[in-house]
Amino acid sequence: TARSPEAGSPSPGSSAGAGGVKVSKIAVITPEKANDFGWNQQGVEGAAAAAASVGAACIVQDGAGYGDITPILNQLAGDNPQLMLAWASGYNTVAPQVAQQTGIATVVIGAGSDAANTPGLVNDLETDAQGGAYLAGILAARTTMTGTVAIVVSAEDENWTKMSGGFIGGARSVTPGIRILYVQIGQAGYADAAGGKRVTASAIAGGADVIFGMGDGSSFGMMQAVETEPPPAGADKVWFIDVIGDKSSLDKKGIYLSSVVWDFTAIDEKAISEVEAGTFGRATYRLDLDNGIKLLRSRFIPAEVWDEIETARQGILDGSIEVPLTTTGKEVKAYLGSGK
């Protein structure tokens, strides 16, 4: 008495399959509110931009959390968009099922294998931001005066671990012996601003004068620490390097050195065009240096450093520079320990 396969098959008259359809409406659903200057906001803005570019409407369901995702996806599907962006790795088990049942093309995040791709229905999106983090590492190594930089992560999160590896690689490419501190707030410290500040403060006290901070709500706590904690001996100020979003508009104290910004517009446009071409669901999308990952150039970055970063970027793109890939906290710590 297994679930009858037909229960899972596309509902009749679904737009799935070869044909392809005109995209007039897309829907994006994010776990947190889309005002976080981070993952959710970038996701929504990218979707909106892409939709605008083809004159399609864009339904936004942000702050959807994880618990009630099935009903929410179904309700969104009820609005008959031709493309749904299920904007959290936490959705990548439920979303395909909904896609199956409703026949709506759906982009899922970090399903981890091409197997997830289903022609016309499901397309996986992987984020490879380590390249950008590599550049951030170079920037950090060039900026630090104490010779110590710190990576602060809010939780054990794949994106964070990948970028941590990249950052370490970049920093060491400049100063091989550079001291890099790595610390995690908690198992789910995404919103733990207090923890963010406390941990960052300790890192600064540990000698770090550049903080590469990865976290959602908690990263505001990190910035607060960077702004308020006394700089370590040998440094006159502490810098903050952010990820995903661009918070420079919130930077009152001039500590916001840069950010590894994720811009999804290009990818979303690609998805739309593939849906219309009927080629959706064939190959995993990868967000990386050449289609949306970039290092934010703030006024604090000296020109020569930026040139160096630019050359490194070229190097990564043409493959002459190899960016390390660490997908778990363990791997990061191992790589950190290796000292190479």
Partner 1 sequence: MVNEASRGSAPVVGSSIPSAGRHWGRTFWQRAAPVVYGLIAGGVLLLVMGKNPIAFYWTTLESGLLTWSGLMQTIIRLAPLLLMSAGFIVAFQAGLWNIGGDGQFLLAAAVVAGLGAPALGVMPFWLVLPLLCVVGFLVGGAWTVVPSLMKAYYGMNEIITTLMMAFIGINLANILIKGPFLSHVTLVPQTDVIPWVYLLPFIPGTHIHVGIVIALVALVLVHFMQTRTSYGLRLRILGASPRAALHAGISVKRDIVTAFALSGGLIGLAAAVEVLGVWGYVRADWNPAFGMTLFAIVFLAGLDVLVVIPFVFFFAVIQIGGHEAARQAGLPNDFLLLLIGLILFFMVLTEWARTRGWLARLRGRHAGSMAAAAEEAAGDG
Partner 2 sequence: MDSIFTADFFAAVLSGAILAGMPLLLAALGETISEQAGLLDIGLEGTMLLGAYAGFVVTNWTGSYWVGFLAAIAAGIAVSLLMVVFCVRMGRDQIVVGIAILLSMEGLTSLLHAAQFGQSYPRLDAVPAVPIPGLSEIPVVGPSLFTQPLIVYIGVALVFVVAGLLSRTNLGLDIRAAGRTPVALDNAGVDVMKIRTVAALCTGALAGLGGGYLAIVTAGIFVPFMTGGLGFIAIVIAMLGRGRPVWVLIGSLLFGVALSVATALQLAGINVPTDVVQMLPFVTVIVALALFARQSYLPAALAQPFVRGRR
Residues in the chain: 340
The smaller minimum CB distance to partner 2, of residues 67 and 337, is found at 337
Choosing among partner 2, partner 1, none, which partner's interface includes residue 68 (Cβ < 5 to 8 Å by kind)? partner 1
From the list 156-164, 199-207, 237-245, 265-273, the region that binds partner 1 by CB under 8 A is 156-164
In the bound complex, what is the minimum distance in angstroms from residue 318's beta carbon to partner 1?
A: 27
276 binds partner 2 (CB under 8 A): no
Among 39, 134, 167, 220, binds partner 2 (CB under 8 A): 220
In the bound complex, what is the minimum distance in angstroms from residue 278's beta carbon to partner 1?
A: 25
The smaller minimum CB distance to partner 1, of residues 166 and 278, is found at 166
Q: What is the spatial distance between Cα 332 and Cα 275, in angstroms, rounded to a whole number? A: 37
The smaller minimum CB distance to partner 2, of residues 33 and 237, is found at 33
Among 10, 207, 278, 292, binds partner 2 (CB under 8 A): 207
Q: What is the spatial distance between Cα 297 and Cα 234, in angstroms, rounded to a whole number? A: 25
The smaller minimum CB distance to partner 1, of residues 1 and 249, is found at 1
From the list 121-129, 268-276, 277-285, 331-339, the region that binds partner 2 by CB under 8 A is 331-339
Contacts with partner 2 by CB under 8 A lie at 33, 35, 37, 148, 150, 179, 181-187, 189, 191-199, 201-207, 217-218, 220-221, 223-225, 227-229, 232-233, 247, 250, 252, 330, 333, 336-337, 339
